[in-house]
Chain A
Amino acid sequence: MEESDDSIRRAILSGEKDAYKVLVARYSQVVFRVAYRITGNEPDAEEAVQEAFLRGYQKLAHFEGRSSMATWFYRIGANCALDIVSRRRPETQSRIAEENDPERGELQLADIKAGPDRLLLSREIEAARQAAMSELTPTERTAFVLRHMEDRSTEEIAVTLKIAPNSAKQAVFRAVQKLRRQLAPLWINT
């Protein structure tokens, strides 16, 4: 029978440090998923996961049980990813280059004068979307990822990012507007 999160938590707080590995194993996948979607790359997502479980361990005594422990770790993971995006944002803004190279933060912009056959190449469209995403502020990006990709409600986004629900809603709106503006040339030429 699977041990409950709360009993594991109590064991950890009683000095059984190794009991924490059960929680890490239980929630690391879901934390990695959201971290990857927010950061957009593996190394940062890995770092966010480690940071999230470190932070979670330190705050374990303050866990009040208002939400499930899964949600609690999920929120910590999203915030850690947001922090990493915020720290690295100036470096990760895409530069225009001859070829797409996400590792170097370089992007080949689609030539809107080129033929539709080229524009429809999924690789280039995806690169354009990545470029558009990189133009969002960390909060807009995180709010959009949580809303659009993680299917979280505005209320949940607000709680996760520790902002007002209306601010969360506005962050999603701004993100959608910016993305549409960035992606509009693709559709004009299709």
Chain B
Amino acid sequence: MKHLNEAELIEHYYDESASPADCERHLKACAACAKHYADLRRDLDGVKPLVPPVRGEDYGQQVWQSIRSSLPVYEKPKRSWIQLWRPLGWAAACALLIAVAFVAGRHWERKQTPSVAVGADPQARQRVVVVVLGDHLDRSERLLVELNHAGSDDMSAMPLRGEARELLANNRLVRQSAIQAGDLNVEASLDRLERLLVELANQPDELSEADLNRLRQEMNTDSLLFDIRILRSRVHTRALEPEDAPKATKGVSL
């Protein structure tokens, strides 16, 4: 038989035993433990609770008066500026997040999409120049054909003049590229074209048959048209060549 130790007896006395029924059974069966428990009860029952001196009904008032002056006043909770600005802060944070996501998305998209920038790759740059030049020469050829076939009934110079002004800006850029590439043949043809375009761009609204003839003779538009056609055919040929084919050693080498 396992006897109850003092800790278990104390627990039992204070009704905190894990198994009070077992304790009771053991105490009834075991005289030694019953004696110990009786002694414990005698000792603890003898310790009577201290009876506090009676305090009057106004005791709370007395305590209040004794502490009142020491108590600070709680300030009403105010809505601070931080609290007022908090919603705006959240909105700003969201806007910033969206902006960052947008920029990051653009950056990512740019990285994913093969770049058409020509600066980094010389071959790609040359391809672009060839395409632009070809387009420019096509339009210039059409303009020259129209000019050469313009009759006395086509007295308005406005369509030719408008086209000439547009081509003039392109021609300068293309010619500049030819100069940088050191292609003197192309540069010479484009120079002649530019002078014609300048003349056309500055013509009055109405052109007479005589004016057209003078312009054709002065600018030798037949010869210029021939040069442009040759140049255009070379450019087209160059544009159709595969990338790994040997490059032309003369003519358009842009």
Residue total for A at the interface (Cβ-Cβ under 8 A): 45
What 5 pairs across the A-B complex have the smallest Cβ distances?
A25-B60, A149-B49, A36-B52, A21-B64, A28-B60
Please state if A42 and B59 are interface contacts (CB–CB under 8 Å): no
Q: Hey, which bits of chain B sit against chain A, CB under 8 A?
A: 6-7, 10-11, 14, 16, 39-40, 42-44, 46-47, 49-50, 52-53, 55, 59-61, 63-64, 66-68, 70-77
Please state if B46 and A129 are interface contacts (CB–CB under 8 Å): yes
User: Which residues of chain A come closer than 8 Å to B71, judged between CB atoms?
Assistant: 17, 20, 54, 57
Q: A36-B50, A154-B16, A179-B43 are in contact. Are A54 and B67 (CB under 8 A)?
A: yes
Known: A25-B61, A50-B67. 13 other contacts (CB 8 A): A12-B74, A17-B74, A21-B60, A21-B64, A28-B60, A36-B50, A40-B50, A53-B64, A53-B67, A148-B14, A148-B49, A176-B10, A183-B43
A99-152 with Cβ < 8 A to chain B: 125, 129, 145, 147-150
Q: A36-B53, A129-B47, A179-B47 are in contact. Are A14 and B40 (CB under 8 A)?
A: no
Q: A17-B73, A187-B42 are in contact. Are A29 and B59 (CB under 8 A)?
A: yes
Is A45 located at the chain interface by the 8 A CB criterion?
Answer: yes
User: Which residues of chain A come closer than 8 Å to B77, judged between CB atoms?
Assistant: 13-14
User: Which residues of chain A come closer than 8 Å to B39, judged between CB atoms?
Assistant: 187
Q: A25-B61, A36-B52, A148-B44 are in contact. Are A153 and B16 (CB under 8 A)?
A: yes
- Residue of B39, B40, B49, B77 with most chain A CB atoms under a 10 A cut-off: B49
Contact check: which of B7, B10, B44, B60 meets A26 at CB < 8 Å? B60
